Structure 1
């Protein structure tokens, strides 16, 4: 198993604050951490939120972005508990937080948002699978969306996150330890944040539900395509299709970029 987003980030869940070493800039002192954990344990979201907000502000001040993203997820979870705990409202709050977040945080937050949408879909799959498309374009209310609409939304957030590839490729995945649960394989399999986000997107593109929103001119891989050829041939392959939104094509292009990115790596695990 490779790394995954922590439960607090994937679900916007209310979890105990992880204590960082005192030498880490932006880390709260022991008394503050204890007070926050105590408020959470006692089910006092308003008190916990009052304690958490200065901790988040401090993390932002010291540019401790991994911790700030996790704290933002906890903040949204606490606000949700106070105001009714509706998952769709947590998504709206995260979108608002992304809009005002430092640009360095936004790509990863977009990936988190994609995961929140995906989790919301999985919890309400039957609604989306049974809903038929209408002539009117869907509005902003996620509860009224059909299957193609929510899949397109998730894809859009992964695409936005991956558009920052130059930034993400420079960040070792280990720098985001506060945000990511360690798996049982070494980080050489996903050495950078770009690798992590790319494989999150690839997992989404491979989901069986994608078949429910295929276009009439949907692109299909053929047995004689370069996907089964040499690395050089595959990387140079330019897919020709009229299906501009094909998740298969997007997956092919992501694999091409990943292979090109790691082509000269000494360790070829990635």
Structure 2
């Protein structure tokens, strides 16, 4: 049996879906993508994603790998139009990339980046795409706290409990708040992320911005390695996966 592996790059608005990963009794991005590609290629296609996104989280750049039996390479590489025609408008296929047969969308990723969007005045065009928060925030203090993340690698305090990860260590390389269009944007990059990590970090940094806790408290929370000490997870609507890096994908 001749099988060839490919990466597919997609983008999606997660508002209508219960995250990326296929699950019973819920509509997910992976389920719809697998169905569309199975129809197009006229064979069962099962994707494996670069990670999982929770219900309501969006992705501007997401990769998954899949195998095709006895592929016609030219047909595979020109499949975007046909696949997009079979997908709902909220999911878009962007690229198909031939890769080695042992390439892995999840384990081969060397870096990922997320953005979180906040706005401060009611705006119907930001519904389900940004978090409306009416509190005034001390952005300078939040950025000072964000810089402290570079001093740590164990982020157990920001991880969803009872996950199946072998380690809670991550190397964060960027974490900054910047003024965006009609709001605020938090960008964070790391070699890997834990379940719920970005939303928990945001929830804790917002507490800093409200002056509910200080920088010493923030350090103590990280060093406690206890999720119950960190802030609540912020709503999923403002979170976007924006970049996934591989050594062999340009």
TM-score by length of 1: 0.26
Highest RCO, 1 vs 2 (Cα 8 Å, sep ≥ 6): 2
Higher strand share: 2
- Normalised by the length of structure 2, the TM-score is 0.27
Greater share of residues in helix: 1
